[in-house]
Chain A
């Protein structure tokens, strides 16, 4: 599992952007399918995208909490370039934190079209 880990790995690093990718794919596929069937109504899809967005942001928040712990809760500042287990862990935690921020912004970006567009035209 990538959550609830004591050690940061490359997989925990890749978790937040993977959440973005799945959210993006879900929003795109859901809208494409809805528009293929009934060309003008997007109501349920917009709700579904809203729920997916909340879920995705929740997963990113969990990843953030874990990464913050791996980072040592800010006990030490970057560059984290010592040849120790501790600095390797803090570096991965820090990079994951940054990716959480980017992924959260990208998820919100992907959700915005569903806020503003109400039909398939």
Chain B
């Protein structure tokens, strides 16, 4: 071949690549100007999420500084007792709900797709919706303090103080409704991230090659599904007691305040691990990079993540050692609390071993990582102490516990996160943070933290209780408190140094892969390129950039999968969960204001409801449902213009998949698992009452009887059967039959909902009279609402069938709604069995 031909070929190749790059850039281009807030791409939403969560962190930090200033000297009158109550309640609430959990979601949304060489997560608009919910709910809860209306009952809101509307004002409602709204965002993020890890990995990235961060995200996503719903169930009971006087937690009318403690801590303890594991996951990425070797004990980390995820659910009652549980119950929780130290310790040994086996180089991220390990080990050791019930009886509600929890959370979550900020800053912003300022920030934070919290162990052992707004002289607490206050301000200075470093202009531009890391997120060179990755590489190792030669050049040359956006659409690969064999080219939706509008309207329902503007709240909620339906109708399950396309490297993949092959089916399954957990929590409440009452159901209760609940179950099951028939008919092309079955399913579901409500109604159960009546009402309402939502979904499918959105070959919606139907039928069946049959058995 002549030189001229070679030149021509090279020029043609270059022209092709340039055209590909232009098309990709056009498809993934970020919206600008006034449409900036319509962006849904993970790079933008992740950044908003991080900035917002960090702003809440600074806000809650300022609250802490005001508290420390108040406690600096005895008999201080900087703030009143009432203000102080709001300060500590909001500090705990904001740090946990508006910083620690959302920052996990934020970081994961930002870096997970890059780590998996995915162009985006499977449901970008859901991420955006979650973000807007978080922003609105967060501002609502935080802003309340400026009106003196912040919640003031402690971050765990124990009744009966907080169920008594004379003792606790609107702040409690703001807490309950505001946080319930934010929990929607958390569950949305969990759905998004689990499906992301399982279904959006690059070809060849089998489960044994997945970055450890992915493992942690998977486990934590699962934990959110089992931890948050009990709190949502508890919030429902709580708000019904406050608004409608249903006595779930009122001992005088058959309720029990301890039930709330159970529901809160079944959420509250796993929550600690929900924020700890993703932060440790950052260390699992940072440590190998700085040790210059693959992690030692990958399988052991998986053991630790899975093991911690499970065991963390057996610890909740160790927050309740002083409520008077039988010693044997305390023993079970004490045992599990000690057992969880095993997997937690394994992770730390893996990190230390990796550093010892490698040739460690030190940088600012490593400084924070080692500081994190030191602080966390200390907090873990005091954790083993307070896990012993007899010791806990002495230390309970004292500053010893304050010290312990801050050592675990700041060592286990905050310092690893700081390490992550230094590590990932070049990846997000394209510039390097200063090593000199980094050392300053670290030592100020590390020293300040220890000066503030180490003395608190002694303050606590000397008897200082938590949550007191001031204290008298001569109890031996003055010096210790003054030192703690000095430490808190020192730590705050460290945070300010970091903030200055992040905000200051003129930082040096980061080279590509500045830490010489081995995982795929570092392929991204220029963060202003919107496409995420130029082409999706086949992966055959755990550290592709270290172990697969020439990979980077191939990615940049567009030599791998999806190098082009020929139809101008945003596309990413979907693969199977175990072996990451590519299965589908998924078209993800583009930028839109619809998620924001839906979040504003749904948020309006919660916020207006807090102030008892019922009609406005109802209208806002209905408009929100309408907005969500409009969003789904216009942007999901879109029928592609051709059945399949060339995905690159000679592979042709379908553009449409339904049933278990589709990401939407997985999302429905995961959402309904969370929904089922909330339902089980309500059922738990029913049986909890059974264990505390000698006669249950109580003698006065004549309902709900057998007739109506059994009719309701029968109708619910008939509706479910009609759904199955509709699915089968549609799949075999009998469209008219499918439509008729759908209409029938709607009728049956509606009848089931009505029959559920008629049970307690016709038998005269008064929900304000006794906790039994109230819990039966809640269970039937739950089942009825699930029927009603089912009707909405069936109607949506019916409309889709008439509009040509749903056909025998394109039936995503119908299959997902049938999956919902399985769960709704199970809910109806269980409700009927509990409220109608169980009273016969007892």
Chain B residues near A80: list those with CB within 8 A: 208, 299
* Shortest distance between the CB of A62 and any CB in chain B (Å): 18
A10/B207 in contact, CB under 8 A: yes
Q: Tell me the nearest residue of chain B to A17, going by C-beta.
A: B310
**A60 part of interface (Cβ distance < 8 Å):** no
Beta-carbon contacts under 8 Å, A13-62 to B: 13-14, 17-18, 20-21, 24, 27-28, 31-33, 35-36, 42
Beta-carbon contacts under 8 Å, A88-121 to B: 88, 91-92, 94-95, 98-99, 102-103, 105-106, 109-110, 112-114, 116-117, 120-121
A109/B336 in contact, CB under 8 A: yes
Contact residue among B208, B309, B311 (Cβ-Cβ distance under 8 Å from A88): B208
A47-B609 Cα distance, complex, nearest whole Å: 51
A14-B307 Cα distance, complex, nearest whole Å: 9
A32-B310 Cα distance, complex, nearest whole Å: 21
Chain B residues near A103: list those with CB within 8 A: 307
A99-B306, A99-B307 known; A81 vs B542 contact (CB < 8 Å): yes
Chain B residues near A113: list those with CB within 8 A: 327-328, 330-332, 334-335
A95-B303, A117-B327 known; A83 vs B209 contact (CB < 8 Å): yes
**A76 part of interface (Cβ distance < 8 Å):** no
Chain B residues near A88: list those with CB within 8 A: 206-208, 578-579
Q: Tally of A-B residue pairs with Cβ under 8 A? A: 128
**B36 part of interface (Cβ distance < 8 Å):** no
Q: Tell me the nearest residue of chain A to B298, going by C-beta.
A: A79
A13/B327 in contact, CB under 8 A: no
* Shortest distance between the CB of A12 and any CB in chain B (Å): 11
Chain B residues near A110: list those with CB within 8 A: 314, 332, 335-336, 339
**B343 part of interface (Cβ distance < 8 Å):** yes
A14-B306, A33-B691, A121-B326 known; A106 vs B336 contact (CB < 8 Å): yes
A87/B208 in contact, CB under 8 A: yes
A10-B578, A81-B542, A113-B335 known; A36 vs B314 contact (CB < 8 Å): no
A35/B326 in contact, CB under 8 A: yes
Chain B residues near A95: list those with CB within 8 A: 299, 302-303, 306
Contact residue among B298, B303, B331 (Cβ-Cβ distance under 8 Å from A116): B331
B311/A106 in contact, CB under 8 A: yes
B541/A81 in contact, CB under 8 A: yes
Beta-carbon contacts under 8 Å, B297-340 to A: 297-300, 302-303, 306-307, 309-311, 313-314, 326-332, 334-336, 338-339
Contact residue among B204, B294, B326, B540 (Cβ-Cβ distance under 8 Å from A79): B294
Chain A residues near B541: list those with CB within 8 A: 81, 83
A14-B310 Cα distance, complex, nearest whole Å: 9
Beta-carbon contacts under 8 Å, B462-493 to A: none
Contact residue among B299, B328, B329 (Cβ-Cβ distance under 8 Å from A91): B299
**B577 part of interface (Cβ distance < 8 Å):** yes
Contact residue among B313, B328, B342 (Cβ-Cβ distance under 8 Å from A102): B342
A21/B313 in contact, CB under 8 A: yes
B299/A78 in contact, CB under 8 A: yes
Chain B residues near A33: list those with CB within 8 A: 691
Chain B residues near A121: list those with CB within 8 A: 326-327
A13, A91, A106: residue with the most chain B Cβ atoms closer than 10 Å: A106
**B692 part of interface (Cβ distance < 8 Å):** yes
A9, A81, A85, A88: residue with the most chain B Cβ atoms closer than 10 Å: A81
A35/B303 in contact, CB under 8 A: no
Chain B residues near A20: list those with CB within 8 A: 310-311, 314
A102-B539 Cα distance, complex, nearest whole Å: 31
Convert B537-549 into 0s and 1s, putting 1 for each residue whose CB lies closer than 8 angstroms to a CB of A.
0011110000000
Contact residue among B306, B327, B328 (Cβ-Cβ distance under 8 Å from A17): B306
Contact residue among A9, A112, A120 (Cβ-Cβ distance under 8 Å from B335): A112
Q: Tell me the nearest residue of chain A to B691, going by C-beta.
A: A36
Chain B residues near A13: list those with CB within 8 A: 306
A9-B578, A81-B298, A121-B326 known; A27 vs B332 contact (CB < 8 Å): yes
Chain A residues near B300: list those with CB within 8 A: 98
A17/B307 in contact, CB under 8 A: yes
A10-B578, A83-B541 known; A32 vs B329 contact (CB < 8 Å): yes
Chain B residues near A109: list those with CB within 8 A: 335-336, 338-339
A62-B578 Cα distance, complex, nearest whole Å: 23
Chain A residues near B331: list those with CB within 8 A: 112-114, 116-117
A102/B302 in contact, CB under 8 A: no
Contact residue among B298, B327, B334 (Cβ-Cβ distance under 8 Å from A78): B298
B326/A120 in contact, CB under 8 A: yes
Chain B residues near A18: list those with CB within 8 A: 310
B297, B327, B540: residue with the most chain A Cβ atoms closer than 10 Å: B327
B208/A91 in contact, CB under 8 A: yes
A33, A109, A116: residue with the most chain B Cβ atoms closer than 10 Å: A109
A103-B539 Cα distance, complex, nearest whole Å: 33
B328/A24 in contact, CB under 8 A: no
Chain B residues near A32: list those with CB within 8 A: 326, 329, 691
Chain A residues near B691: list those with CB within 8 A: 32-33, 36
Q: Tell me the nearest residue of chain B to A117, going by C-beta.
A: B328
A24-B332, A35-B328, A79-B298 known; A102 vs B303 contact (CB < 8 Å): yes
A27-B208 Cα distance, complex, nearest whole Å: 35
A87-B579 Cα distance, complex, nearest whole Å: 11
Beta-carbon contacts under 8 Å, B347-390 to A: none
A93-B339 Cα distance, complex, nearest whole Å: 22
* Shortest distance between the CB of A82 and any CB in chain B (Å): 8
A120/B338 in contact, CB under 8 A: no
A81/B306 in contact, CB under 8 A: no
Chain A residues near B579: list those with CB within 8 A: 85, 88
A24/B299 in contact, CB under 8 A: no
* Shortest distance between the CB of B367 and any CB in chain A (Å): 28
Chain A residues near B209: list those with CB within 8 A: 81, 83
Chain A residues near B330: list those with CB within 8 A: 113
Contact residue among A21, A92, A99 (Cβ-Cβ distance under 8 Å from B208): A92
Q: Tell me the nearest residue of chain B to A112, going by C-beta.
A: B335
Beta-carbon contacts under 8 Å, B254-306 to A: 294, 297-300, 302-303, 306
Chain A residues near B332: list those with CB within 8 A: 24, 27-28, 31, 110, 113
Q: Tell me the nearest residue of chain A to B208, going by C-beta.
A: A91
* Shortest distance between the CB of A9 and any CB in chain B (Å): 7
B208/A98 in contact, CB under 8 A: no
A80-B208, A102-B307 known; A31 vs B314 contact (CB < 8 Å): no
Chain B residues near A42: list those with CB within 8 A: 328
18 residue pairs bridging A and B, Cβ less than 8 Å apart: A17-B309, A17-B311, A20-B310, A21-B314, A24-B314, A31-B326, A31-B328, A32-B329, A78-B299, A81-B209, A81-B541, A83-B204, A83-B206, A83-B540, A102-B342, A109-B335, A110-B332, A113-B332
15 other A-B residue contacts (CB within 8 Å) besides A27-B332, A35-B326, A92-B207: A9-B578, A10-B207, A17-B307, A21-B310, A36-B692, A80-B208, A87-B206, A88-B579, A91-B208, A98-B302, A99-B303, A106-B314, A106-B339, A110-B335, A113-B332
Q: Which residues of A contact B (CB under 8 A)?
A: 9-10, 13-14, 17-18, 20-21, 24, 27-28, 31-33, 35-36, 42, 78-81, 83, 85, 87-88, 91-92, 94-95, 98-99, 102-103, 105-106, 109-110, 112-114, 116-117, 120-121
Which 10 residue pairs of A and B lie closest in terms of their CB atoms, listed nearest first?
Answer: A113-B331, A91-B208, A17-B310, A98-B303, A83-B540, A109-B335, A120-B326, A106-B339, A35-B326, A36-B691
